[in-house]
Chain A
């Protein structure tokens, strides 16, 4: 099977992310499916950044430990990653910077001689990578011409110089017959899913790894017909989103765990006032500041229970950009259908890794909620069968719309009497019945791999990529719930039919999904956990699964 991995590393400021994207595009244009992990510490200059690009014939969504090419723009990269080179792999490095065994090229000099800026070493590296992979010049030229907007001629000149000087190819990357797919990061897919479901106001305070939702939407707000707002803090973000929803605009907020912690009073406010707001929460290792630019699945329990009081919520956990696109659309539409807070729980790995994207874009569309028909007296919290009150917004002629954080009567006036309190709580919680019926008709628990296998890996979110590949190579089943609240117990039990051994695989230290299953009386036999800030590699996970299944 055609399966290549390239690692390129240097300091922050060396343009690693950009050249990683170009390498991914190079492969993608030849029909390969891409997974690209962008590894960087929390700093602006210096440090050690690297990108690990994997290109494969099949739709992979995880990386392998061994790579075919390591490109080192500094010595640290060579020292840290040379061990990854497989037998016959190649180290390409900047000979002007350090000496090593492998394919040394004078990348700094090439850029200087061509009159380029120092950062253009990354394009010089790209030329060498293409050549070493046996990729034709015209393919590389095509990628640079479509993807590089600033000084394309100069970049082409530099790439050509290094392409010609590079070591003879050790590989011959064949063009595949499959059509090329677009490349996307999880956060972009979240943004697009929300936009397609009618998002009009996105409010967020920057926090890695959620910030690129804000950046993407801000950069494209006119194209997408929406407004982005970066307020003074996360509390302002969530409350403005609630105010916007009250006034009739579809709103979403986004943050990482720490910023979401500040938003929690707003979650509860959505619960009481029945305001639909979508929360995109991207996990990074905690507690507290933790490790800002790395990955985890440590906030599941937090998101499931965030907010005081008892109220209905929907928590969705996509595992790749296609799921992120569809589920964010669902989160928006369901928020408005049931007038509840909904959550898209992602992580650094999904949010910022680059993947091949299969969706066309029209799979998600805006679905209208229950809108007031204009007849009779309007009451914002009218009790009705199913608990959903018809929506109307301030500005509607002849009516008054009262939203509130207090317990209230149907009109939204404060109440404190026993019957008033319990009947409104019943109304709100009663919406769960119809929500569950909706969810039963959906694919809330995905099954991958050998569906008849007696051993299954239980996983969620971006860990699915490594699990699926591991399961395919070992003949196992993978069970991946994408809805985590209301928890789809029946669908999980159905997926578990014939399974004798269930192994939980999670990117956290306390097996939070396994714990959730145990709360519902479902046994999880083993857990394989990784909480070093890095996603599972396929080889690493396979080894650990073999240990517990031997």
Chain B
């Protein structure tokens, strides 16, 4: 983050070399950029779950809610419903979003609520010191799977395409400018924007070399073509020669959940209106038979 004004006094406790720094830097730059374009800083609200990723809310000086493990999506859904004028961004780890909270992730994509969801996907539990997650590769030796994980990893992009997300992207923490641009597009997207970020865990699952060798930026892809997006999502399946595409896989406009729920523009936050309930306490109101 170039501008000091977005950092806080909180001591950063991520490990040296952690991929989270790339995400922190990218979101800071994306927010500052959008602020320069006219979105006031107070209109950003971010939320995180629990895990290493979640400390991000302590490190950025914008409105935030440090929520529970797996519960970022319900949190930001509530925030968006309360105040649709906010640009709401959620951060979650792969254990958080794809394990504990996967029902919420699928439901949010299905609803197409107008929020941005950034996943710090390091394919391991960091803060609880190294267990396998839903995206860990087969054979991953974590502290809960000492003989190696026997489960196939989840493909988050494929899942989000199937669930109905209207903006689906993948980023990589070392490609900061690319990530800033993805975040900017995601925040400006009117609908559910999902970014899976390849985030190496320096301490428990150092994947820098692996990603550096395979990651490439998508070029010449039609982002409105869901079949093409699915093919791209299936390119990387942990096979030795697989390449890993990053960029926007899919982007379409569809009616949003919040627009529908708020009946065209209610702002619930700060609404002090009290209804007259005489209709219900007076006699003579009907009942259907």
Contact = CB atoms under 8 A, between A and B. Distances in A.
Contacts of B202: none
Interface string B251-270: 00000000001110010111
Contacts of B64: 400-404, 412
Give 9 nearest A-B pairs by CB, closest first: A243-B78, A248-B269, A394-B63, A247-B82, A239-B74, A240-B78, A249-B82, A404-B66, A249-B268
Interface string B275-289: 111111111111111
Contacts of A403: 64-66
B158 interface: no
B286 A146 contact: yes
B287 A147 contact: yes
B282 A182 contact: yes
A10 interface: no
Given A229-B261, A232-B103, A249-B271, A243 B68 contact: no
Interface in B57-89: 57-58, 61-68, 71, 73-79, 81-83, 85-86
Interface stretch (B18-26, B37-45, B137-145, B226-234): B37-45
B209 to A, nearest CB: 32
Interface residues of A, number: 83
B267 to A, nearest CB: 9
Contact of A147 (B275, B281, B289): B289
B8 interface: yes
B4 interface: no
Contact of A243 (B79, B273, B281): B79
Contacts of B43: 395
Interface in A197-221: 197-198, 200-201, 203, 220
A357 interface: yes
Given A123-B289, A147-B289, A182-B282, A395 B65 contact: no
Contact of B279 (A223, A229, A247): A223
Contacts of A368: 272
Contacts of B210: none
Contacts of A203: 78
A317 B222 CA distance: 59
A246 interface: yes
B289 A18 contact: yes
A227 B8 CA distance: 35
A265 interface: yes
B268 A239 contact: no
A464 to B, nearest CB: 21
Contact of A227 (B83, B262, B280, B287): B262
Interface stretch (A169-177, A294-302, A358-366): A358-366
B42 A394 contact: yes
A331 to B, nearest CB: 16
- Which one of A122, A226, A361, A366 has the highest number of Cβ atoms from chain B below 10 Å of its Cβ? A361
B42 A396 contact: yes
A251 interface: yes
B71 to A, nearest CB: 4
Given A231-B74, A239-B67, 17 more contacts: A147-B286, A148-B287, A150-B289, A155-B289, A192-B280, A192-B281, A200-B271, A201-B78, A239-B71, A243-B65, A243-B75, A357-B281, A393-B83, A393-B269, A402-B65, A403-B64, A412-B66
B55 interface: yes
Given A182-B282, A393-B83, A394-B42, A265 B287 contact: no
A157 B50 CA distance: 65
A247 B68 contact: no
Contact of A413 (B58, B71, B286): B58
- Which one of A231, A245, A366 has the highest number of Cβ atoms from chain B below 10 Å of its Cβ? A231
Contact of B78 (A22, A222, A241): A241
- Which one of A236, A237, A247, A405 has the highest number of Cβ atoms from chain B below 10 Å of its Cβ? A247
A195 B40 CA distance: 32
B90 to A, nearest CB: 10
Nearest to A216: B280
A130 to B, nearest CB: 15
Interface in B197-235: none
A42 interface: no
A535 interface: no
A249 to B, nearest CB: 4
B127 interface: no
Nearest to B281: A361
Interface string A381-404: 000000000000111111111111
Interface of A: 15, 18, 21-22, 25, 122-123, 146-150, 155, 180-182, 184, 188, 192, 195-198, 200-201, 203, 220, 222-227, 229, 231-233, 235-249, 251, 265-266, 269, 273, 357, 359-361, 365-366, 368, 393-406, 408, 411-414
Nearest to A191: B280
A247 B286 contact: no
Contacts of B47: 243
Contact of A247 (B58, B83, B106): B83
Contacts of B50: 405
B162 interface: no
Contacts of B285: 182
B270 A393 contact: yes
A395 B273 contact: no
A238 B284 CA distance: 35
B1 interface: no
Contacts of B281: 182, 184, 192, 357, 359-361
A247 B277 contact: no
- Which one of B62, B63, B106 has the highest number of Cβ atoms from chain A below 10 Å of its Cβ? B63
B10 interface: yes
B274 A196 contact: yes
Given A149-B286, A241-B78, A394-B83, A246 B65 contact: yes
B57 to A, nearest CB: 7
B280 A397 contact: no
A240 B77 contact: yes
Contacts of A18: 287-289
A249 B237 CA distance: 44
